Amino acid sequence: MDIEQISFQIISFAGDSFSTMLKALGKAKEKDFESAEKLMEEAKKSLDDAHNVHTEILVSEAQGNKQEYSVLLSHAQDTLMNTILAETLLSEIIELYKAKEDKE
């Protein structure tokens, strides 16, 4: 697989994950925590897929298969990092919504 295909896979999986997390946040706002949890699990699977593709290219380079610099891959890595950060933050926000609901 070439660097362009790898980049687009990472962007696609990470983008799907991020949009699913936003749906989960919306469900949490509506106090539908069961749906929010299911959506976060779905988002995690997409994020894992993105991470696995990224790991493949890292392993390949570690084995001596050097790639030329690619702005597209740089963008894909940035998208992946932001999605990983979003997972952490959105999970915490959803937990805050749950805690607030428990207090009411």
Q: Can you list the residues of the chain whose pLDDT is less than 70? A: none
Report the pLDDT value the prediction gives residue 99, as an integer from 0 to 100.
94
DSSP for 17-81, written as a single string = HHHHHHHHHHHHHTT-HHHHHHHHHHHHHHHHHHHHHHHHHHHHHHTT------HHHHHHHHHHH
pLDDT in tens, 58-69: 998 999 998 888
Q: Is 104 domain-assigned?
A: no
Q: Is 88 domain-assigned?
A: yes
Q: What CATH number is associated with residue 69?
A: 1.20.58.80
Choose the catalytic residue: 55, 75, 82, 100. Answer: 75
Domain that holds residue 33: 3-99
Report the pLDDT value the prediction gives residue 102, as an integer from 0 to 100.
85
> Domain tally for the chain?
1
Can you say which residues are annotated as belonging to the binding site for Mg(2+)?
78
pLDDT in tens, 7-18: 999 999 999 999
Residue 51: active-site member: no
